[in-house]
A and B are shown apart, each in its own frame.
Chain A
Amino acid sequence: MASAVAISEGPLILGNKTPGIVTTDICSSLERTPAPSWWIAIAFSGSMLLLGLVAVAYQIATGIGTWGLNNTVGWAFDITNFVFWVGIGHAGTLISAVLFLFRQKWRTSVNRAAEAMTIFAVICAGLFPLIHMGRPWLAHWMAPYPNTRGSLWINFRSPLVWDFFAISTYFTISFVFWYVGLIPDMATLRDRLKAGWRKRVAGFFSLGWNGSFRTWLHYETVYLLLAGLATPLVLSVHTIVSWDFATSVIPGWHTTILPPYFVAGAIFSGMSMVLSLMLIARKTMRLEDYITTRHVGAMCKILIATGGMVAIAYLTEFVTALYSNNQYEQFAFMNRAMGPLCWSYWIMVGCNVLSPQLLWFKAVRSNMAVVFVVTIFINIGMWFERFVIIVTSLHRDYLPSNWTGYAPTWIEIATLVGSFGLFLTLFLLFCRFVPVIAMAEVKGVLSHGKKPH
Chain B
Amino acid sequence: MARYGMVIDLKRCYGCYACSMACKVANHTPPNVFWSRVLKGESGTFPNVVRQALPVLCFHCEDPGCVKVCPTKATYANDDGVVVIDKEVCVGCKYCMMGCPYGARYTVPEWKSYFPEGLPLSELEQFQKEAWEEKSGCGVATKCDFCTERREDGKEPSCVTACPADARIFGDLDNPDSEASQRIKRDRGFVLKPEQGTKPKVYYLPPR
Tell me the minimal C-beta distance from A147 to chain B in angstroms. Answer: 10
Please give me the residue from chain B that is nearest to A66 by CB atom: B109
Q: Does A24 contact B (CB under 8 A)?
A: no
Given the contacts A71-B97, A74-B98, A135 and B107 also touching, CB distance less than 8 Å:
no
Given the contacts A249-B65, A399-B102, A133 and B92 also touching, CB distance less than 8 Å:
yes
Do residues B98 and A250 form an inter-chain contact, with CB atoms below 8 A? Answer: yes
A208 to B125, CA, bound (A): 68
Tell me the minimal C-beta distance from B105 to chain A in angstroms. Answer: 8
Do residues A160 and B69 form an inter-chain contact, with CB atoms below 8 A? Answer: yes
B106 touches which one: A71, A133, A394 (CB < 8 A)? A71
Tell me the minimal C-beta distance from A56 to chain B in angstroms. Answer: 15
B103 touches which one: A75, A133, A402 (CB < 8 A)? A402
Q: Does B145 contact A (CB under 8 A)?
A: no
Contacts of B32 in A (CB 8 A): 71
Do residues A63 and B94 form an inter-chain contact, with CB atoms below 8 A? Answer: no
Apart from A132-B94, A151-B74, A398-B103, 20 more pairs, CB < 8 Å: A63-B109, A63-B139, A64-B107, A64-B139, A71-B32, A74-B94, A134-B94, A135-B91, A135-B140, A141-B89, A142-B71, A151-B72, A154-B73, A157-B69, A158-B95, A161-B71, A248-B69, A248-B99, A399-B39, A399-B103
Do residues B73 and A72 form an inter-chain contact, with CB atoms below 8 A? Answer: no
Q: Does B185 contact A (CB under 8 A)?
A: no
Q: Does B110 contact A (CB under 8 A)?
A: yes
A134 touches which one: B70, B76, B100, B109 (CB < 8 A)? B109
Proximity bits, B173-203, A CB within 8 Å = 1, else 0 = 0000000000000000000010010000000
A151 to B76, CA, bound (A): 10
Do residues B70 and A64 form an inter-chain contact, with CB atoms below 8 A? Answer: no
Q: Does B88 contact A (CB under 8 A)?
A: yes
Contacts of A405 in B (CB 8 A): none
Q: Does B16 contact A (CB under 8 A)?
A: no
Q: Does A155 contact B (CB under 8 A)?
A: yes
For chain B, the bracket of interface size reads: 35 or more
For chain A, the bracket of interface size reads: 35 or more
Most central of B32, B71, B76 by chain A CB within 10 Å: B71
Tell me the minimal C-beta distance from B106 to chain A in angstroms. Answer: 5
A158 to B68, CA, bound (A): 6
Q: Does B101 contact A (CB under 8 A)?
A: yes
Offer 16 A-B interface pairs, CB within 8 angstroms, sorted by A: A63-B109, A67-B109, A72-B103, A133-B93, A134-B92, A134-B138, A150-B89, A155-B72, A157-B69, A159-B95, A160-B93, A161-B71, A249-B101, A397-B101, A398-B101, A402-B103
Q: Does A129 contact B (CB under 8 A)?
A: yes
Q: Does A452 contact B (CB under 8 A)?
A: no
Q: Does A149 contact B (CB under 8 A)?
A: yes
A151 to B67, CA, bound (A): 13
Q: Does B90 contact A (CB under 8 A)?
A: yes
Given the contacts A129-B93, A155-B70, A398-B102, A134 and B88 also touching, CB distance less than 8 Å:
no
Q: Does A2 contact B (CB under 8 A)?
A: no
Do residues B102 and A64 form an inter-chain contact, with CB atoms below 8 A? Answer: no
Do residues B70 and A63 form an inter-chain contact, with CB atoms below 8 A? Answer: no
Contacts of B68 in A (CB 8 A): 155, 157-158
